[in-house]
Amino acid sequence: MINRYPLWKYLLILGVLLVGTLYALPNLYGQDPAVQISSTRGEPVTAQIRDKAVAVLEKANVRYKSVTEHDGRLLIRFHDSEAQLRARDLLEVALGSDYVVALNLAPSTPAWLRAINARPMYLGLDLRGGVHFLMSVDMRTAIKQALERHVGDLRTLLRDKRIRYLDVSRAKDAIEMRFRDARDLDRARALIAQKEPNLVLSTPSGQGGFFLRAVLSPQDLTKIRDFAVQQNITTLRNRINELGVTEPIIQQQGRDRIVVELPGVQDTARAKEIIGATATLEFHLVDEEHSVADAVSTGHVPPGDRIYYDRQHRPILLLRRVIITGDQITDASSGLDQQSGQPAVFITLDGRGARIMEDTTAKNIGRRMAVVFIENKVTTHMKNGKPVRVTRRVEQVINVAVIRDRFGRRFQITGLDSPQEARNLALLLRAGALAAPMQIIEERTIGPSLGQANIRQGFEAVVVGFVVVLVFMAVYYRAFGLMADLALFFNLVLVVALLSLLQATLTMPGIAGIVLTVGMAVDANVLIYERIREELRNGNTPQASIHAGYEKAFSTIADANITTLIAAVVLFGFGTGPVKGFAVTLSLGILTSMFTAIMGTRAITNLLYGGRRVKRLSI
């Protein structure tokens, strides 16, 4: 019979709408202000800490909603942000530097929805506020370091086998070895080929003397690249863990890029300091015998010494010899010095470092020791229209202290300006030096106020655009217009449900995409209804007109939507961040609109008119 759907079609539509509504539901619930506690060392938070936190809050009379554990982290929800902020301050003091207490907004999805894995949409950084960094790993340095390591290895190898060489050194992207005679060269070549199969050997011609050139094999280069990126990601993850960001994203992009997204981070300066710097420390003894003023004024630096500057740009004369470096530090944490109550950094050394430190300090009690903080900052200059990267080594004396006693494995640095600074220093030390320096090549920061404004504006635009279309359709197509309106509403529900289900990132352009699909989704109904009107005008019966209208409009609708879909897919492939969000919502909107505008409205039409005698249609 004409214009009747089989029962299963109705059930299918009903089922889809039901499931859609269910998964769209979590977005209606708001968010709880919450505090998240995690361990700086990445260990799960223990029940002991949980009890301690609860006790602290109860003692201070801070009311909380619930305490839950999630992925080894503790989440305490509050009724208002006032309690949240107070709790953060209290817990930060009570738990010390081993734990990170971070502010968070936790979705207050009810348990029964969480049980079916229904979650609210994942908001992009432009809506929730936060920082997006694109970092580029400096591969040239990574390769340079690898070559330097090989230089050391080769020297040892040759020496062990008693092959005499004149020189082994790194020259740009290769290692060059110089020998006295052909015999040594041949022996070395055979030995290296056997022991270091990763090196590609060649004898450069046209040069006097006996040269051997070694370069890294392509496989080795790939391995070094991958390793450098991986190690940087690991280090970044550690550092970011300590920033206490709730849902950070750290991903490799392309060959030598890393994307870092930190939702909710407001102090971007600090985030950049911690992420962007490759820092290490050197401990030097202070030269107590010579006058620094003389050295600066005459430019005559005593042999074995070097002039360093502290943060107030005051010069200080240090012995060149490095006692230990940051590599030998196994742990660093911040806290308060027990005697003076000043902020301090507690440092733990590895075995070798501890031995050296012990020897040095035992011999130099009463003398001063300086801590030099070395940072590799990378800047980009434009030179002849091309970006040129320059790595700057910034050395700064951050602390000078008198050696009071012989140091053991564990010692402390005091004299820091603030607890915050102690924290940062400890953080940088612990995360260690990066494998290869990284540079931030793109940053997008959205402050929380702008994120809020974007959500509000986006929401208003969707609602107003939606209502305008609803009214227009109802006026223009009457009963059929109302059916289209219903379909449009469920289209919106389905888009939201799919976005929630896929946990695809919703961005501001994404919202624009939703608004656009609201306009475009009715196109299918306009096409169908215009066709029905035409059929009616041609003198067909209402039933036949409905049937023909849907039938004839279908291929047009499909063609029209597929072309837009092609554009959306290209956009998705090209897209970065926000633009990708637009591509996602546009494609989802097109797909769901085909379902609701064709099947959905047809089902209602069939229910209302199908199998009945209809004199005229309200269209």
Partner 1 sequence: MEFFKSTLNIDFMGKRVWMAGFSVVTIIISLVSLSTQWLNLGLDFTGGTLIEVRYPHSVELPGVRRTLATAGFPQAVVQHLGSARDVLVRVPPHGKESSADLSNQVLAALQKEAGAKLDLKRVEFVGPQVGSELAEKGGLAMLYALLGILVYVALRFEWRLSLGAVLATVHDTIFTLGFFSVFRIPFNLTVLAAVLAVIGYSLNDTIVVFDRIRENFRRMRKADTVEVMNSAINQTLSRTIMTSLLTMLVVVTLFFLGGEVVHGFSIALIVGICIGTFSSIYVASPLAMWLGVSRADLMPVRKEMTEADRRP
| Contact status: 565 vs partner 1 (CB under 8 A) | yes
Q: What residues numbered 103-142 form the site for partner 1, per CB under 8 A?
A: 126, 133-134, 136
Per-residue three-class SS string for 281-334: EEEEEECCCCCHHHHHHHCCCCCCEEEEEECCCCEEEEECCCCCEHHHEEEEEE
Piece of 140-148, 322-330, 423-431, 569-577 that binds partner 1 (CB under 8 A): 569-577
Q: What residues numbered 36-65 form the site for partner 1, per CB under 8 A?
A: none
| Contact status: 586 vs partner 1 (CB under 8 A) | yes
445 with 585: CB under 8 angstroms?
A: no
Piece of 289-297, 341-349, 511-519, 609-617 that binds partner 1 (CB under 8 A): 511-519
Least Å from the CB of residue 403 to partner 1 = 35
Q: What residues numbered 436-475 form the site for partner 1, per CB under 8 A?
A: 439-447, 449-450, 453-454, 457-458, 460-461, 464-466, 468-469, 472-473, 475
Piece of 157-165, 331-339, 582-590, 594-602 that binds partner 1 (CB under 8 A): 582-590
| Contact status: 582 vs partner 1 (CB under 8 A) | yes
CB-wise, 29 or 574, nearer to partner 1?
574
Q: Which residue has the tokens 């979705």?
A: 107
Piece of 2-10, 101-109, 113-121, 377-385 that binds partner 1 (CB under 8 A): 377-385
Q: Which of 497, 508, 532, 617 binds partner 1 (CB under 8 A)?
A: 508
CB-wise, 252 or 564, nearer to partner 1?
564
Q: What is the DSSP string of 86-140?
A: HHHHHHHHHHGGGEEEEEEEEE---HHHHHTT----EE-HHHH-EEEEEEEE-HH
| The two structure tokens encoding residue 52 | 């301690």
Piece of 43-51, 55-63, 364-372, 554-562 that binds partner 1 (CB under 8 A): 554-562
Least Å from the CB of residue 200 to partner 1 = 30
- Binding-site size for partner 1 (CB under 8 A) equals 85
CB-wise, 450 or 591, nearer to partner 1?
450
The phi and psi torsions of 553 (rounded to 5 degrees) equal: -75, -20
| The two structure tokens encoding residue 325 | 């470096």
CB-wise, 73 or 531, nearer to partner 1?
531
| Contact status: 157 vs partner 1 (CB under 8 A) | no
Strand order in the sheet with 73-77: 66-70, 73-77, 31-39, 99-107
Name the 3-class secondary structure at 256: coil
Least Å from the CB of residue 549 to partner 1 = 12
Length of the chain: 619
| Contact status: 171 vs partner 1 (CB under 8 A) | no
Task: Give me the torsion for CA of 290, 295, 296, 298, rounded to 10°.
Answer: 150
CB-wise, 4 or 140, nearer to partner 1?
140
CB-wise, 336 or 526, nearer to partner 1?
526
Q: What residues numbered 192-221 form the site for partner 1, per CB under 8 A?
A: none
Helix and strand counts by DSSP (H, E) for the chain: 17, 22
Q: Which of 22, 85, 400, 526 binds partner 1 (CB under 8 A)?
A: 526
DSSP H or E run through 396? strand 386-402
Least Å from the CB of residue 24 to partner 1 = 20
In angstroms, what is the C-alpha Rg of the chain?
A: 34
Least Å from the CB of residue 487 to partner 1 = 14
434 with 227: CB under 8 angstroms?
A: no
* Per-residue contact string for residues 380-419; x = within reach of partner 1 by CB under 8 A: xxx----x--------------------------------
The phi and psi torsions of 256 (rounded to 5 degrees) equal: -135, 30
321 with 283: CB under 8 angstroms?
A: no
Least Å from the CB of residue 475 to partner 1 = 6
Least Å from the CB of residue 13 to partner 1 = 24
| Contact status: 530 vs partner 1 (CB under 8 A) | yes
Q: Which of 559, 613, 615, 616 binds partner 1 (CB under 8 A)?
A: 559
Least Å from the CB of residue 434 to partner 1 = 16
| Contact status: 486 vs partner 1 (CB under 8 A) | no
| The two structure tokens encoding residue 48 | 């002991």
| C-alpha to C-alpha distance for 450 and 149, rounded to whole angstroms | 49
| Contact status: 539 vs partner 1 (CB under 8 A) | no
CB-wise, 204 or 519, nearer to partner 1?
519
CB-wise, 155 or 389, nearer to partner 1?
389
Count CB neighbours of 151 within 10 A: 17
Least Å from the CB of residue 348 to partner 1 = 31
Piece of 284-292, 340-348, 524-532, 607-615 that binds partner 1 (CB under 8 A): 524-532
DSSP H or E run through 318? strand 315-319
229 with 142: CB under 8 angstroms?
A: no
Nearest to 498 by CA among 591, 399, 375: 591
Residue 7 is classified by DSSP as H
39 with 45: CB under 8 angstroms?
A: yes
| The two structure tokens encoding residue 168 | 């082994």
Least Å from the CB of residue 444 to partner 1 = 5
Least Å from the CB of residue 551 to partner 1 = 12
| C-alpha to C-alpha distance for 594 and 61, rounded to whole angstroms | 55
| Contact status: 523 vs partner 1 (CB under 8 A) | yes
Pairing of strands 122-123, 505-506: parallel
Q: Which of 80, 519, 551, 618 binds partner 1 (CB under 8 A)?
A: 519
| The two structure tokens encoding residue 401 | 């202290």
Long-range CB contacts (< 8 A, 24+ apart) of 66-70? 69/44, 69/45
Beta bridge partners of 213: 176, 202
Instruction: Write the CB contacts of 34 (distance below 8 Å, at least 6 apart in sequence).
Output: 75, 76, 77, 78, 84, 103, 104, 105, 106
Q: What is the DSSP string of 574-594?
A: H--HHHHHHHHHHHHHHHHHH
Least Å from the CB of residue 484 to partner 1 = 11
Least Å from the CB of residue 407 to partner 1 = 35
228 with 137: CB under 8 angstroms?
A: yes
Angle, in degrees to the nearest 10, between helices 577-594 and 542-574: 160
Least Å from the CB of residue 466 to partner 1 = 8
Q: Which of 164, 340, 566, 618 binds partner 1 (CB under 8 A)?
A: 566
| Contact status: 85 vs partner 1 (CB under 8 A) | no
Q: Which of 11, 116, 365, 570 binds partner 1 (CB under 8 A)?
A: 570
CB-wise, 26 or 276, nearer to partner 1?
276
Q: What residues numbered 258-277 form the site for partner 1, per CB under 8 A?
A: 266, 268-269, 272, 276
